[in-house]
């Protein structure tokens, strides 16, 4: 799973049927150094909002399992809202 910060939303009416009534969030991915590194659009199942740090699972089979499906063009899913992260980067003396 990856850490990400939600920075926006995507609204779509014409879409693949799987995405009907799903909530799409733009997630800025956070790398091992705590920096933003790229983004992904993920489906939200936990009710997360813009500005929150979340856990994103970026793997298709795991995501489909969440929705109880065997098929579906889904890869990234928001599966948790993060309360706190303690990060120690090896060899990095700065906090």
Exposure on the CB side of residue 54, measured as CA atoms within 13 A = 30
Sheet containing 53-58: give its strands across.
Answer: 23-30, 36-44, 76-81, 53-58
Question: 19, 12, 34: which is closest to 86 by C-alpha?
Answer: 34
Site membership for another protein, residue 75 (CB under 8 A) = yes
Q: Which is nearer to another protein, 17 or 90 (CB)?
A: 17
Only one of the segments 68-76, 78-86, 87-95 lies at the binding site for another protein (rule: CB under 8 A); that segment is: 68-76
Residue 1 or 89: which CB sits closer to another protein?
1
Task: For the segment 2-61, give every residue that binds another protein (CB under 8 A).
Answer: 7-16, 18-19, 24, 26, 28, 39-42, 50-51, 60
């Amino acid at each position: 799973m990856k850490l990400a910060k939600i920075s926006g939303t995507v609204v779509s009416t014409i879409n693949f049927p799987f995405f009907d009534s799903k909530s799409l969030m733009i997630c800025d991915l956070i790398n091992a150094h705590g920096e933003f590194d790229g983004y992904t659009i993920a489906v939200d199942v936990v009710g997360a909002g813009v500005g929150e740090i979340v856990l994103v699972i970026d793997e298709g089979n795991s995501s489909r399992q969440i929705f109880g499906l065997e098929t579906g063009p889904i890869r990234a899913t928001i599966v948790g809202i993060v309360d706190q992260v303690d990060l120690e980067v090896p060899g990095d003396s700065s906090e």
